[in-house]
Amino acid sequence: MLALTGLAGLPWLAGIGRARESPESIGSSVLDGDLNLNRNSLLNVETIGMASDRPALQTPGTGDACIEIRDTAADDWSVRATEGSTNAPGAVEFNAPIRGTASDSHAPPSLSVEGTVAADGLSVDSWQVVDVRERGIEPGSDDDLGAFIQTYVDRDDVSGALFHLPEGTYAWNTPVTVRSFDTIGIVGKPRARVHCTNPEMAYFLSLGTGTPGDAEAFVARNVTFDVRKENVAAAAIIAAVDNSLEIDNCTLSGELDRVVPPFYSIAPALVTESGRGYVSVTMSDGSFCDPDRKEQRHPMGLAIERDHRGYLVVENSDIEGFINNGIYSAGHNGKVAIRNTNVKNCGAGMLRLGDGDYAYKCKLVNDDAEDRGYSYAALWVTDASHAVADSIQIVAEQATPSELVRVNGDVDHCTLSNVDVKSHANQYVCAFTGDDPDLGQIIASNWTITDTGSAQSNAHLGRIDRPNVVLENWDVSIDPDDGGKRHGLVVDAPWVDVRGCSFTHTGGGLDLLLDDGADYLRLKNCDFKSGRLYQYSRATTEDAIVADNRFVDGVSLSGNQRNWSLRGSEFQGLGEQSGSS
């Protein structure tokens, strides 16, 4: 195995490296300890020197392993790892040629790397590495790590640094503000905690400006940002960079018990379209809740807003207890993918998606909204030309005057598939709004809804108030609690397709309600297992097509079915009975 140390496989590794001429022999060279590539160093256990039998820089690892870098004069590989023999390369390669002098040159070799480095098992220490303990900042002491970092990055000879934090808890009571830099990172080795006790500190880190060209890359790994002290409500990270952003295995610990502008907890942004980033965080303590304040007047959870233009992945995150949105991804011009993430007991929007966003395998749970006195939507899509949510699980125990799934009128296209809702909350399961006839389709497919609301606060399961909505393969079961008169979906917009759905109402209530706007309805191939299909007297349902549906277990039509085009033998007798035409 190669015994190299540091951070693995950073995608922005690129640049210029130089070797000095060996004092022992003209025409060969050695590197004492590391190979620097644009402030990115391969840190090695032994000297890097020329191979004796081929034109390559080489360093031994442990046992019979070595790493080799070859220039283009040999017209072959650029970098490789070997185990045992020169014919047993390992999985390390540069994704671009290296240009340099030949091995027999009398000049010191100069290596130029274009592009990035792919490394499988190779460890790379990136940038200018600063071990804070070696610089006198001791965990468990009163040494202010924030003040040290700010002083260090303010130096004229520093354009960035990676701060290694050996395991322990560090005092951090000075905010770090850096607007222009190449690279900044903070990494726990293997994990570190930074603790703020300063009520006046608004954030731990505020990096970049939101304008391209000011900040290149940021990484935070294995760090817990601790605000467990009364009146301390510092945001952990506010970072806007051009190319690369990583916030991995980081935690915000402690409830934000007051508002400290700018209202954030963690706010990442990639400010160029080519920027790429990854976020995996835990924020389980949330914020205070004041029922007399609007939800938006509380601290936010994970916020991805207007400065974001790149592609960001949020994965394996847990966020709980923020009254002002759990994950807010809206109002930006980038792309955000949110995967395998849990959000619990957050107000406004637990998971809020904007244009180009994608959510997959997320679980959204609420069981304290009434107790704490806030309103929320579990999944909220807003201001989007197109957004996608797939494999979403929603569990609602307490009611609020809102909807579990909300699609705003400023959304053009949206796909919501494989949604599993278990609601005991007496509130709308869904609300699709918008009155523009030119709006694109909302496709809601493969939903499973189990509703036990009692209708004490809301009589209906949900509303379709926008045109061009497709409900496909829904399995809806309504079992009202305490004999309440909870009813099903209200359709009050034209060009709504309801197909391949199953409706069961154990209390005999209304499965589906057709209101005044439900013209050009397409109701096809559905099973009404118990309950009633209802049309309001004010509804004309112009040119509605009702075809190939099955009514079983005493299901009846109720209201006045007008202007229906009935198709299928199962409607014989029903049309005459209810006055249909």
Residue 43 pLDDT > 60: no
Band of pLDDT at residue 345, cut at 50, 70 and 90: very high
Indicate the domain borders of the chain.
7-123, 426-581
Q: Tell me the one-letter amino acid at 444.
A: A
Q: Say whether 481 sits in a helix, a strand or coil.
A: helix
> pLDDT tens, 436-460?
989 999 999 999 999 987 666 567 8
Average pLDDT over residues 150-177: 95
Q: Tell me the β-bridge partners of 198.
A: none
Strands (E), 259-305: 266-270, 276-283, 300-304
For 104-158, give the secondary structure using H, E and C: CCCCCCEEEECCCEEECCCEEECCCEEECCCCCCCCCCCCEHHHHHHHHHCCCCC
- The burial class, CB within 10 Å (0-12 / 13-18 / 19+), for 501 is buried
> pLDDT tens, 305-336?
999 999 999 999 999 999 999 999 999 999 99
Question: Of 168, 110, 172, which is closest to residue 144 (Cα–Cα)?
Answer: 172
Angle at 435 between CA 432 and CA 438, to 5 degrees: 105
Q: Omega of the bond prior to 494 within 30 degrees of 0, cis? A: no
What gap in Å lies between CA 425 and CA 429, rounded to an integer? 9
**pTM given for the model:** 0.77
CA distances, 556 to each of 513, 530, 545, 550, 581 (Å): 13, 9, 18, 11, 17
Q: Omega of the bond prior to 190 within 30 degrees of 0, cis? A: yes
What gap in Å lies between CA 138 and CA 161, rounded to an integer? 19
CB 238 within 8 A of CB 267: yes
CA distances, 371 to each of 69, 319, 350, 481 (Å): 63, 19, 17, 20
What gap in Å lies between CA 369 and CA 316, rounded to an integer? 24
Residue 303 pLDDT > 50: yes
Average pLDDT across the chain, whole number: 80
pLDDT score, position 69: 59
pLDDT score, position 484: 62
Q: Tell me the one-letter amino acid at 496.
A: V
Residues 6 or more apart in contact with residue 495 via CB below 8 angstroms:
467, 468, 469, 519, 520, 522
Band of pLDDT at residue 532, cut at 50, 70 and 90: confident
What gap in Å lies between CA 30 and CA 57, rounded to an integer? 8
Angle at 186 between CA 185 and CA 187, to 5 degrees: 120
Residue 136 pLDDT > 60: yes
Tokens of 302: 């994970």
> pLDDT tens, 533-559?
888 888 888 888 888 888 887 677 776
CB atoms within 10 A of CB 188: 22
pLDDT score, position 57: 58
Structure-model confidence comparison of residues 171 and 581, the more confident one = 171
pLDDT score, position 507: 77
Termini Cα distance of the chain: 80
Q: Say whether 242 sits in a helix, a strand or coil.
A: coil
Phi, then psi, of 153 in degrees rounded to 5: -75, -15
Structure-model confidence comparison of residues 535 and 52, the more confident one = 535
